[in-house]
Structure 1
Amino acid sequence: MSRKSNADALADVVSPPIGDLALLPAPVAKIRDKILAACETGDVEALRIPIDWNETRPLFARSGAFKAGTDPIEILKALSFDRKGRETISLIRAIFAQPYVKIMRGPTTLYEWPAFTRQPGPPANDRDAVARWRCVRFGDLSRANAEGKPRATRIGIASDGVWHYFWSED
Structure 2
Amino acid sequence: MRFIVEGRWVGLPVLVLAVVSIVYAAPSASREGRAANDAPKTVGAASKFAKQLHKPGEDIGPLPGPVEEMRQAILAAAHSGDIEDLREPLDWNEMKPEVAAAAGEDPIAHWKKTSGDGNGREILAVLAEILPMRAAELPLGKDLENNIIYVWPYLAEMDLGKLTPAQEVELLQLVGPAEAKAMRDKKKWTWWRLTIGADGTWHSFKKAE
TM-score by length of 1: 0.75
2:64 aligned residue (25, 28, 37)? 25
1:3-50: CA deviation from partner (whole Å, max 9, x where unpaired): xxxxxxxxxx8732244552x110000000101111121111111111
Taking a change above 3 Å as real, the CA distance of residues 27 and 133 of structure 1, as seen in their structure-2 partners, is same
Does the alignment pair 1:77 with 2:112?
A: yes
Deviation at 1:145, TM superposition (A): 7.7
Q: Distance in 2 between matches of 1:100 and 1:166?
A: 14
Q: Distance in 2 between matches of 1:151 and 1:29?
A: 25
Taking a change above 3 Å as real, the CA distance of residues 144 and 20 of structure 1, as seen in their structure-2 partners, is closer
Larger radius of gyration: 2
Q: Distance in 1 between matches of 2:204 and 2:139?
A: 16
Match of residue 208 from structure 2: 169
Match of residue 55 from structure 1: 94
Does the alignment pair 1:95 with 2:130?
A: yes
Gaps of 5+ in 1: 1-12
2:87 aligned counterpart, secondary structure: helix
Taking a change above 3 Å as real, the CA distance of residues 165 and 134 of structure 1, as seen in their structure-2 partners, is farther
Match of residue 160 from structure 1: 199
**Bigger share in helix:** 2
**2:205 maps to amino acid:** F
Q: Distance in 2 between matches of 1:142 and 1:43?
A: 32
Match of residue 36 from structure 2: none
Q: Distance in 1 between matches of 2:54 and 2:129?
A: 21
Q: Distance in 1 between matches of 2:205 and 2:121?
A: 15
Q: Distance in 2 between matches of 1:25 and 1:72?
A: 26
Deviation at 1:86, TM superposition (A): 1.1
Gaps of 5+ in 2: 1-49
Taking a change above 3 Å as real, the CA distance of residues 41 and 97 of structure 1, as seen in their structure-2 partners, is same
Q: How many pairs were matched up?
A: 150
Match of residue 74 from structure 2: 35
Asked whether the equivalents of residues 36 and 93 of structure 1 are also in contact (C-alpha less than 8 Å), the reply is: yes
1:77 aligned counterpart, secondary structure: helix
Identical aligned residues as a percent = 32
2:158 aligned residue (119, 123, 127)? 119
